[in-house]
Structures are given as structure tokens and as C-alpha cells.
Amino acid sequence: MIRKLLRRVFRRNATAGTGLTTIPRSRHGIRREQVSPAARRTCEGLQQAGFKAYVVGGAVRDLIAGIKPKDYDVATDATPDQVRNVFRRSRIIGRRFQIVHVMFGAETIEVSTFRAAHNEDTLKDAHGRVLRDNDWGSIEEDAARRDFTVNALYYDPHTEAVLDYHNGVADLKQKTLRMIGEPRARYREDPVRMLRAVRLSAKLGLTLDPAVRAPIREMADLMENVPAARLFDEMLKLLFSGHAVECLKRLRSDGLHHGLLPLLDVILEQPLGEKFVMLALANTDERVRAGKATSPGFLFATLLWHEVLANWEARKKAKQLSIPALYDAMDEVLQVQAEKLAITRRIAGDIKDIWSLQPRFDKRSGKSPLRLLEQPRFRAGYDFLLLRAASGETEQELADWWTEFQDASHERREEMLLPDAGPKKRRRRSPRKKPGGGGESPGEGS
């Protein structure tokens, strides 16, 4: 009984000072037709079953900002089991934060139940990070649990109204990123919010509220407590946001680049390495904004290449053979990286393929160039070579040669091939002796 009373007090305090503002379409500008059909059908299905349901968070924020959302989340007062009963093609996932994936064709909508405010029973680790979070609550509590005010927005496709509990629409229009609650406590609950603050401010052109920005540098070491797989997912969102260059600048200014990619801070202190990384990130930003395909393997290969180079050179100076030294350097760099970011085996394989092709571009005689063209990862390796040339790491003439060679006719390719260093000297074979001890002349004894 006492515990229930305390929980009610904590919940009242968590939502104290908040007030609901219902914003009509004429003010927020989101038309029903702009919302994904799958998200609309998810809300409609839950509402017809007697539940509340809203498109929530980033999709609402992006639509108001004039950005096309990449995905849609729905929040509801239905429990995961109740959501599962409404939609045949759905499944419950997650342990720390249980949600439901509702599938419509190729599109998946993430449905979460309104979360209750944290209290003394909330399971946390020694640093304050929430370990389990499946206590259901009201929409007011759920809004208070959101990280930033611009993410605490709920859109009803039926009424076309936005429910705003923390003045998120006003903050969005005023270009300010404000935290809901006390920033230090919120960062302890989930240190990834520090990364998210940087990513959202860069993506939306927002200025961090001083209270949001101030604790980041001193609390950055909390990132060491984040599971590697989750940190990797958040880094992918940041690097493929279409604003990676700006994100990296902000990460550096807030001291968050140290330790995220354990070797990135070293790279950025080397002029050649920094130029290479910035070119790669700018190239990725352009592709994301143009709607072109991007590759995590390619981007991580660029971020870590200069550490591979340094490791490789050290091994060659220690008299290790060049190619075995390269493979050992690749393994060591990726192993160090894996301690912080859980790079999947497939992505690690792509990274190593790109790296291992680089020495082969130096060979422009004999059959080596033709064999290289047949490699499945040739195009990725070639694009990597172009970045190396653009940054001044290798000669532009080498990149130009391969640009012409890959599209040249058979005759032109033959003309372009460089002459071999010269015929290899054959070893003279000592003549075999006859059983009787005499020598055997060539052509005999067939």
C-alpha cells in the first residue's frame, strides 16, 4: 500500500509543471496523406479496438520540420499482448524495453506502450542506467519520459491534431534542443542521449540549450557503460544521418569523439588522416541526401584506414612480409574497435575486403589488373582508391589510370599495361645422373 502511494507521488512529481497543448493542422502543417499508410493503419486498427494510438516522436518532429521521416513509431495505451492480438502480422520483441513490430508488406511499424515514470523500483545499474523498462503508464507520463521536447509530440491521423505536452513545437520553431527533466539525471539513465543530442542538433540545425550542452563533456565517460551493439546502432544513425560532417564537428567540440571509435581521435590529430575522413563523410552525406545506396562497411573502412596503415608500416619495419603484415594489421585494428562497437561479421568482412584490395591497385602489369577487375568488391575498392588520391595519400595518376582502364577496350587495356620488371631468371637444373653414375644429356631417357 505504501509502495503504491509513493509511486503515485513520484509520478505526479515527474509530470508536474507540464500542460497539454492541442495544436490543429492549421498550425503544425501535417496532412494525413503525408503519414505512412502503414502508420495510419496501425493507429486506425488500435483506435477501432478501443485504444488510444498516436504517431509519436521523430516522425512527427521531422514532418513539422519539412523532412521526410525514415520510419514511424506509434505509441498506445494498449499493452504489447493487446497490440499483438489486434494485428495478425506482429511480434513482441525486446527485454529491457518491450515493443511490438507490426508488419504491413515491406514496412514495419514499431509500437510501444505508454511508459510510466521511473521510481525507486526501477532497475538501474551502478551508474544510473535503466536496465529494465516495462512499467506501463499514462500518455502524460510517457511524454515526460521522452528525452527532448521536440520528441514528445503525438500526432493523431484521425483528427490531424498534434498533442504537445512540453512545448516541443515552439522549441522546434525557435531552433532550440531542450531536455525534458534534469539533463544530468537523464544522461545517467541513458548515456546514448548525449550522442542523440549531437545528431539531432546537427540534423535539424538546432542550438543545444546550455543546460543540455554543459554536462556532456564531463559525463562522456558514461558511454563506456553502453552495450557495444547499441552504441554501434546509434553510431550508424549518426554517420548515415546525411549530416555526418557536422555531427563529427559537434562531437569534437563537445569532447565525445574520444573513445567512441577508439582510434578516431588519433586519426583526427593527423592532417592527412583528417582530410581523408572528412572527404569520406562528405561523400556519404551527399549520397544520403541524394537517396543513393550507402555502405557501413565502406564508411568504417575509411574511418579506420589510417590506423591500419600505421600498424602495417610498423610491422613491415619489424621485417614482417608485406601482405601477411597487412592482414595482421587489419585484424588488430578491428579487434580494438570491437571492444567498443559491435561491428557485425558481415560488415567486418566488407571492411577487410576493401582494405586488402588496396595494394593490388599498385600492380599494373601482367594479368594482375585484369584479375582485379573480376573481384566482387572491385568497385568499392576503386572508390576507396579515389578517396585516397583525393586526400593526397596516393598519386592521382594511379586513380586516373584505373578510371580509364576499367572502361577501356581490350586493345586499349593491352596498350596501358606497364611492362614487367623483366623476365625472371630460371634456375639451372642439375643434370640427373644415370644409375651407373654418368650424366644424362637433354632429351635422353624418355
The full 3-state SS of 266-314, as one line of letters, equals HHCCCHHHHHHHHHHHHHHHHHHHCCCCCCHHHHHHHHHHHHHHHHHHH
327 and 407 share one domain? yes
156 is a catalytic site residue? no
132 and 181 share one domain? yes
Residue 432 maps to a domain: no
Residue 255 gets the label, from left (phi > 0), alpha (psi -120 to 50) or beta, of left
264 and 343 share one domain? yes
Of residues 420 and 65, more confidently modeled: 65
Q: What is the DSSP letter of 341?
A: S
Task: Report the chain's mean pLDDT, rounded to a whole number.
Answer: 85
* Cα 316 to Cα 60, 338, 363, 429, distances in angstroms: 54, 24, 19, 34
Domain end residue (candidates: 225, 258, 280): 225
Residue 50 gets the label, from left (phi > 0), alpha (psi -120 to 50) or beta, of left
The active-site residue out of 71, 121, 125, 400 is 71
Residues facing 73 on adjacent strands = 56, 110
- Please count the CA atoms within 13 angstroms of the CA of 55 that sit on its side-chain side: 32
Which of helix, strand or coil describes residue 111? strand
Strands 53-56 and 73-76: antiparallel
191 and 258 share one domain? no
At which residue does the C-alpha cell 514496412 appear?
A: 107
Q: Report yes or no: 291 and 284 within 8 Å, Cβ to Cβ.
A: no
Q: How many domains does the chain have?
A: 2
The pLDDT, as a whole number, for residue 146 is 93
Residue 259 maps to a domain: yes
301 and 199 share one domain? no
The active-site residue out of 77, 142, 147, 285 is 147
Here the cell at position 382 is 576503386
Residue 351 maps to a domain: yes
CA distance 442 to 446: 10
Residue 424 maps to a domain: no
- Please count the CA atoms within 13 angstroms of the CA of 423 that sit on its side-chain side: 3
The pLDDT, as a whole number, for residue 264 is 59
30 and 127 share one domain? yes
278 and 191 share one domain? no
> Which among 2, 62, 58, 57 is positioned nearest to 30, based on CA atoms?
62
Tens of pLDDT, residue by residue over 282-307, are: 999 999 988 888 999 999 999 889 88
295 and 314 share one domain? yes
Average pLDDT over residues 121-126: 52
Domain end residue (candidates: 167, 201, 225): 225
Average pLDDT over residues 106-135: 70
Strands 161-164 and 153-156: antiparallel
70 and 218 share one domain? yes
The pLDDT, as a whole number, for residue 307 is 86
364 pLDDT more than 60: yes
Residue 151 makes CB contacts below 8 A (sequence gap 6+) with 57, 58, 61, 168
147 is a catalytic site residue? yes
265 and 341 share one domain? yes
Residue 425 maps to a domain: no
CA 158 to chain centre: 34
Tens of pLDDT, residue by residue over 173-219, are: 999 999 999 999 999 989 999 989 989 999 999 999 999 999 988 88
Of residues 51 and 436, more confidently modeled: 51
**CATH number for 57:** 3.30.460.10
Of residues 251 and 395, more confidently modeled: 395
Share of the chain above pLDDT 90, in %: 62
Tens of pLDDT, residue by residue over 79-95, are: 999 999 999 999 999 87
14 and 75 share one domain? yes
Identify the domain containing residue 81 by its residue range. Answer: 10-225
**CATH number for 410:** 1.10.3090.10
16 pLDDT more than 60: no
**139-153, 248-262, 329-343, 365-379: lowest mean pLDDT where?**
248-262
